[in-house]
Every structure is written in C-alpha cells, then in structure tokens.
Structure 1
Amino acid sequence: MQISELADRAGVTVKAVRYYERLGLLAPHRLANGYRDYDDGQLRAAREIRELAAVGIPPSKAAPFIACLGSGHARSDECPASVVAYTDGIAELDAAIAALEARREQLARRLASATDVVPPSPDQGTGCTVIDSLLAR
C-alpha cells in the first residue's frame, strides 16, 4: 500500500509516517518508480506507535515495541526491552508528578502568605498603588 493509504488506515498523518521512517521504526519497500510500498506488518507497527503515543510513550522511544512485533510476537510488550520502556515511562511520569506537586506546594505557600497582606475585597483595589493608578485611567 502507498503512504497515504497506510496513514489513513493507521489513523496518523503522512508526515507522521515519514517521521516514523526517519526514526527507523518503519522501513517500506521501494517500488521501481521510487514510491514507498508498505505491508500489513508496517501498518500494524504504525498503529502500535500511535497507541503508544496515546499512553505517553513517544515515537522516539517506541523502538523496543516495534522490534518486539518484528521478531514475531503477538503483542509489542511481550519482550523484556518493552517492559523496561514501560518502567522508564512510569519513572518519568513519577518525576514529572513530583515536580508538579513541589511547584503546587510553593504556590500554595506563596498564596497563603499573600492572603495575609492583600485586601480581601476587590472594592479595596489591588493593594498595589502603581497598579491601582494604572487601572484608574
């Protein structure tokens, strides 16, 4: 099948398919006229890449999963390298969550200290004479 058909059937764009090729995740055969020719295995790989991206594993980290499919496994996560990729993805999410929680705590502390000095009512202005004078214009 040609690239546009593969993209349609996989639910991705032609640009995404070309990106997957640049990453080495897809390797279509070339016809005599130079056109790419994809088979059902590559369609399956493109769909898997899309599904992995939907759960947070970017195409740049999908190689172990595609290699697992390419080695004949029924599922892309039946290989040890895929399990490691899942573990790494969870660790990245945990780190991002911890960083967000720390930022939230900092904001909450700043909010708590700010509410001690800022007027509680909008009728009293912003509490900043420079801003109040700008708003009065």
Structure 2
Amino acid sequence: MRIGDLAARTGATRRALRYYEEHGLLPDKRTPNGYREYDEWAVQRVQNIRRLLSIGFTAEEILHFVPCLDTVTPLDSVCPASIEAFTRKLSAVQSTLDELTETRDRLAALLEESVGPLRAVG
C-alpha cells in the first residue's frame, strides 16, 4: 500500500509516517518511480508506534521496541525488553509526579502563608 493508504488506515499523517521512517521505526520499499510502499504489517506497526508516542515514549525510546512493533501489543510476552522499557518509563513518570506534587504542596503552603487558607485546587 502507498503512504496515503497507510495514513488513512492508521489515522497518522503522511508527515508522521515519514518521521517514523526517518527514525528507523517504519521501513518502506520504493517503487521504480520513487513511491513509498508498505506491507500489510505496517498498519499494526504504526498503530503501536502511535500508542507508544501517546504515552510518552520518544521515537528514540521506541527503537528498543522494533522487534515487538508488529505484534498486537508491544507489551507482549515475546518481547521482554518492552516490559523493561515500560517499567523504566513508569518509574520515571512516577518520579515526575512525586516532584510535581512536592512543588505544588510547597507553592500552596507559601501562598497560604501570604493570603490565608486556600480553596481546594483541582
């Protein structure tokens, strides 16, 4: 299938597909006239790439998932490296949440010292 067909089937833009290609996530074949062509498995791969991007993985981090990107889910038992990557990412997200919570609490305390009790933020 051509890039427009792949874009339509996955909801990705042509630009995004070229970006995935440039980062080594989505190999393509070229026809003699230079058009990109993708096999059927590219649909699953693009869906997994988009899913991983949506939860905070970068293109560089997704490179570690390449062997797993053609499975129904990149968190597959045949891809133990993906489980390690998810665990690392979850730990990093939790650390960020902890830091943000601490910052919020310090800001609220400082503001309360200056203007009195605050209404709930949220």
Identity of aligned residues (%): 35
Shift of 1:52: 1.8
Q: TM-score, normalised by structure 2?
A: 0.83
Find the structure with the greater CA-based Rg: 1
Aligned residue pairs total 114
2:22 maps to: 22
Q: Secondary structure at the match of 1:93?
A: helix
- Please list the CA deviations of residues 74-131 of structure 1 after superposition, one character each: whole Å capped at 9, or x if unmatched: 5422211101110111012112101211110111111111115xxxxxxxxxxxxxxx
**RMSD after superposition:** 1.7
Q: TM-score, normalised by structure 1?
A: 0.75
Q: Map 1:112-123 to 2 at 5 A.
A: 112-116=112-116
Report deviation, 1:22: 1.0
Contact in 2 for aligned 1:31/1:37 (Cα 8 Å): yes
Segments of 5+ residues of structure 1 without an aligned counterpart are 117-137
| 1:2-37 deviation digits (Å, cap 9, x = unpaired) | 111101111111111011011100011110001100
8 Å contact kept, 1:65–1:77: no
Is residue 49–residue 69 contact of structure 2 (8 Å, CA) maintained in 1?
no
Q: How far apart, CA to CA, are the structure 1 residues paired with 2:35 and 2:98?
A: 47
Which structure carries more relative contact order (alpha carbon 8 Å, separation 6+)? 2
C-alpha distance 110-45 of structure 1, shift in aligned 2 (>3 A): same
Segment drifting more, 90-99 vs 56-65? 56-65
